[in-house]
Amino acid sequence: MVAKEKSSRGRTVLTGALASDLFKDEINERHREILEAAAVLFAERGYAATSVRDIGERVGLLGGSLYHYIKSKEALFVKIHDIALQVAEDRIRSAVAKAEDPWDRLSAAATTMLEIQLDPHSITMPLMSDFQSVPPAVRERLVAKRDAFEQIFVQMVDDLPLAASLDRKIYRLLLLTLLNNVSNWYRAGRKTPAEIARQIVSIFRHED
């Protein structure tokens, strides 16, 4: 288990528990150790500031030894990003499955999304958000995966009893933009992620 340490982004990251949860299905122990260490470093420092050497040093592999286990830094980042995104999607789908009313489903999805985003120990959102520093070809793949992830909300918005005059695509994009930017202004203490999610859904439902 990796110890707790201060990230370069000013947040304390629990570098063991959540990273190990992401890769619990990885059978090979050495591969799992590399994935956990790399995920933590990418989340803390970002893609550009994390080198293969950094990852190797974290797991005790020096020189080119790490390349016995990985194809490239780019491929490693894509794999970790895809796993993190799948874990987030599974959490949202699980939450939505418990609700029958379309507004309740949207509220459950928004709540889970904000809980993932606003968890101060999360490594998921930094991994899912670090698009600008990756090579263009990698960025295209990450964006495609993100767009597929956001399809979760397409059916939910389609199921809402909205006015015929509303463009559902614009409605969905505005909702996702708002949800994705809560972490920019959120401060713990005044409202919980669930309370914020419910208020956002109420606003989009045009409730007082």
Residue 118 CA to residue 112 CA, distance in Å, equals: 10
101 and 196 co-located in one domain: yes
121 and 63 co-located in one domain: no
Q: In a 3-state reduction of DSSP, which class is residue 159? A: coil
pLDDT of 125 > 80? The answer is no
The string of DSSP letters for 111-144 reads: HHHHHHHH-TT-SHHHHHH--TTS-HHHHHHHHH
The pLDDT value given to residue 5: 39
Q: What angle do CA 51, 53, 58 make, to 5 degrees?
A: 105
124 and 151 co-located in one domain: yes
The pLDDT value given to residue 21: 67
156 and 106 co-located in one domain: yes
121 and 50 co-located in one domain: no
20 and 117 co-located in one domain: no
Average pLDDT over residues 87-95: 92
91 and 135 co-located in one domain: yes
95 and 197 co-located in one domain: yes
Strands, E assignment, the chain: 5-6, 12-13
For the entire predicted model, the pTM comes to 0.78
Last residue within a domain, chosen from 73, 101, 117: 73
State the total domains in the chain.
Answer: 2
Residue 45's domain is classified under what CATH number? 1.10.10.60
pLDDT of 19 > 50? The answer is yes
9 vs 196, higher pLDDT? 196
Structure tokens at 28: 């090979």
Query: For residue 115, what are the domain limits?
Result: 78-204
Last residue within a domain, chosen from 45, 73, 101: 73
Residue 97's domain is classified under what CATH number? 1.10.357.10
The pLDDT value given to residue 120: 74
Residue 122 CA to residue 191 CA, distance in Å, equals: 19
